[in-house]
Amino acid sequence: MTKSTITTRMRTLTRLTVANRASAAYLALVGGAMAVAAAEPLFGAGPDASLIWVWPALFTFPAFGFVAWLGEAGWGGDAPAWFFVGGIVLSALVQSLALGAVWRTLRGRRGNRRHLTTAS
């Protein structure tokens, strides 16, 4: 593989992951949930303040289920916080890539349709 082929593939993966409307909206949703979860201890001192991290995990659930399983298998249920936060980020990126691929497929089908006119 040449350097230009690798660069082209990396650009395609980047476009599918972050440079379309569906992926950008999904990443904004997950990023907003993580920002609210990170800011919650600053403003709320209730006993349930740590449960706010359930929302980012739920937004990334299908992929985050694997991360939770790895945390349980590796640390026996006592995984460090960095593992779960990193898992949420990685899960969001993986799901954003899948969402971008679906978006491109659907948009490609829509763009390939020929419009009927009176001449055809």
In this predicted model, what pLDDT tens digit does every residue of 9-39 receive, in sequence order? 888 888 888 888 899 999 999 999 999 998 8
For residue 33, the model assigns a pLDDT of 95
For residue 29, the model assigns a pLDDT of 96
In SS3 terms, the chain reads as: CCHHHHHHHHHHHHHHHHCCHHHHHHHHHHHHHHHHHHHHHHHCCCCCHHHHHHHHHHHCHHHHHHHHHHHHHHHCCCCCHHHHHHHHHHHHHHHHHHHHHHHHHHHHHHHHCCCCCCCC
Is this model's pTM higher than 0.85 or not? no
Pick from 60, 30, 94, 97: which is nearest to 68 by CA? 60
Which residues of the chain have a pLDDT value below 70? 48-49, 109-120
For residue 27, the model assigns a pLDDT of 95
For residue 34, the model assigns a pLDDT of 94
For residue 40, the model assigns a pLDDT of 84
